[in-house]
Structure 1
């Protein structure tokens, strides 16, 4: 019983040891000039933790999922959540599992450049509709979101990558 209480106390004091560093959000405000926007018209966003040592030239990119919108009302409802708007994403996130930053939790990829791309378009990063219906004010531009994020990561060093793994 004493051991259990000690573990609970340590978890309260130091947080969940299964999670890694707090990763700051990257919002691509300038991408909106190319029409790269989430369902609600907000800019694309992602979380990025730079690799180090032998992992510096390797990248793992997690493309967040969330299912497709099934109707305009479904997309409208989604547009007020983090699954349809970067405005509703947290300023920081914790990477776990394959994105964790320690060799104990993630022995193969802990020191790679690790990226979590927010899913905010309702169509698995595939939409590219120019017209915006004035009635529902939804943007279906997932392909542009994907391109804007990849262009930004390219400038951050992905152009020199030896290995890139994408997970979905």
Structure 2
């Protein structure tokens, strides 16, 4: 970052920090720090795509993602770079979860996420380690094979996602686009970002919603109804179990 600032980024009139997946997590964790690099008259905002990794219970009753983040904190010492606004009152592992940092962010931020994030479905909600009998193997690869009990479990995950952003979305400076798709990282692909058949909420494509938020053209908070109501989704289907 120092190199980019030295090459002229410090003179920018507008700056947007964005990232997808792990990059989305980092965007939330370092948003205010990024903002602090610029003069007060620079418009600085952050866009986090698919970064809302939740501290959720998996299908076996364990917290796979918490165990993973705890390992990062302990082995890599990365807790030192977490926002003090969070670590001042929560443990470092908890502060790796964006849901615990969002309430403390001062910089305008846009959260783009699917309510049924397929990466989390495969790695933290129903990972193979929590599903030794393979009851979730088909559902993990193709949402069309999820049975009614599995869909009910995933609706609970969606509810956790919405609860995690409820306070955040109340702020006028923030933006939100949470659609009920089985997908991951929608800003990096043209077909989901801004194409004729891109996902929509309130007749807004993702790019339009983000643009409205960044340039302050009006409301930019969109939350979908539960699956399977959205016919504009670009669901991800996998060939093998992950």
Q: TM-score band (shorter)? A: under 0.3
Structure 2 length-normalised TM: 0.22
Higher relative contact order (CA 8 A, sep 6+): 1
Structure 1 length-normalised TM: 0.28
